[in-house]
Amino acid sequence: MAAIWARYRGRDGTLRSRAPIVVLLLALLLSACGDAADTPAEQVDSEREAVGTSPPAASGGNTSPDEAPNNGNAAALPPDAAERAPRDPHYYEVINISVGGEGTGGGGDIDQFWKQEFPKLGTNTAYVSPRARYSYYPVPGRIPRTACVPRNADPKTLANNAFYCPEDQIIAWDENFLWSQYERYGDMAPVTILAHEWGHHIQRLAGYPAFSVQAELQADCYAGLYTKNAETRGYLEEGDVQEAMYSLYDAGNPAFDNSLWFAPGEHGSPEERAKAYLTGYQTGDPEQCLAYRQYKRGSVIEVGPYVLALAPGTKYQRLQDGTYQLQNQLGNALIRYVPDLPPQPAVEQIAARTPEWLGEGAQALDVPPEEVEINPTEGTDAVQRYQQTVQARNGSTQSRHGFIFLHVDANGGGYVVDTYAPGPPPAQDEAWEPLIQHLRVLLAGLKRNPNTNG
């Protein structure tokens, strides 16, 4: 296999990989995460105790609304049973490759990535690796000591979590939690969670404010930034990004509603987190992640009965027919609501109506178009490439190419999204990738408006 972590299989052994377009995504970038506010506690393992700082007083330490009660989704095993549990050796290989396994000092591919990338953030500080990296089990005697919380913290508050403690620069993770993500979604899932926590370490070194939605979204973006870099070095295969996204979407399920650890008010909504992760992954640009320091919630536009969360720096204009014209670092896009769509599959309608939506000189390139899936219980989706050539008033010819995406609601109506670039259509499929990437980021921020009945 070309990738170092190259497997995407569920517990039943079946492949979960899908075509790249299906990343269109609904995904909450979870990385059950935290900062100084996370809830690590006491560690009695003498080998690890030598690394940790002196524990705070029983009544001291930091507290946070991020403390997550054990909601029963990943019940902790007793220490001896947990250590005896059979686990795929590839899981440990993935942890070793990405973060160097457990231990002190730096190590692993994420650390090496940030040694190269950190100077691009323009800070006056040098990169320093985290002091330590540990796994734990949320049972008495098997949780790590950090400077962040009281010694008498309830171990159950650490279940289903990974966290970074900025006071002593320790990254720790619930071994059962990361294993469950690996087992259910694939080997890229735990890598992304750890890359997010490493992002909080970067924030500490850079002096960025912590404990905010902006910090969480920026860490999500940093995880996507690392993913992109790993992909350029041949570490990923098709399906790895989906693994990360579907894993992190899991935190948005109702099963986690009783845990403030995953509260949208603290870490961002599913749409915001998906967009942040994909912004880092699709652009590979640290500047795009830095922009999240100024991110303001509520940057949305209404598209019929839908709302679209805009990425930082997006400029938009509403045209007379209700179409929104969008422009940002990823490129140009159009989105409009189409109320008169019949409740027929999108794949049966998109080719015939593409010229109508795009206007003179538009021609569909994919016949038949590709049927894709976002949420089949809410409607159908299709996508196809197109080219368009028009004659300008001065006699010159202008052309553009792009992807047009159609969503049809179950009861009719829907929306059309067009991501495009100037010039004739390229012959190589790889040259189309930036446009489909832009489409993925845009759709990650789109959801039905809860204040409408449509």
Question: Looking at the predicted structure, is the pLDDT value of residue 383 above 80?
Answer: yes
User: What pLDDT, on the 0 to 100 scale, is given for residue 271?
Assistant: 66
For residue range 271-322, list pLDDT tens digits in order: 677 778 888 988 888 988 988 888 776 678 999 999 888 877 788 999 998 9
**Nearest by Cα to 307 from 279, 281, 335:** 335
Verify that 154 and 274 share a domain, yes or no. yes
Q: Do 236 and 284 share a domain, yes or no? A: yes
In a domain, 14, yes or no: no
Q: Are residues 37 and 145 in the same domain?
A: yes
Instruction: State the residue range of the domain holding 139.
Output: 20-294
Q: Which of 37-41, 174-178, 222-226, 438-442 has the lowest mean pLDDT?
A: 37-41
Backbone angles phi, psi at 308, to 5 degrees: -120, 120
Which pLDDT band holds residue 2 (cuts at 50, 70, 90)?
Answer: very low
Whether residue 228 has pLDDT greater than 90: yes
For residues 235 and 308, state if they share a domain.
no
One domain for residues 394 and 266:
no
Top pLDDT among 361 and 298 is at: 361
Confirm whether pTM is higher than 0.75: no
Q: Once rounded to an integer, what is the mean pLDDT over residues 234-254?
A: 69
Out of 266, 294, 322, pick the residue that ends a domain.
294
How many folded domains does the chain comprise? 2
278 and 131 in a common domain: yes
pLDDT in tens, 158-210: 888 888 999 999 998 989 989 988 988 889 989 999 999 999 999 999 988 76
Q: Give the H or E element holding residue 248.
A: helix 240-249
In a domain, 454, yes or no: no
Chosen domain end from 236, 260, 294: 294
Rounded Cα–Cα distance for residues 430 and 232 (Å): 13
Which residues are CB-contacts of 309 (< 8 A; sequence separation ≥ 6)?
A: 269, 271, 272, 275, 299, 300, 445, 446, 447
Q: How far apart are CA 262 and CA 136, in angstroms?
A: 20
Query: Domain boundary at 265, 294, 323, which?
Result: 294
The CATH number of whichever domain residue 376 belongs to comes to 3.40.1000.10
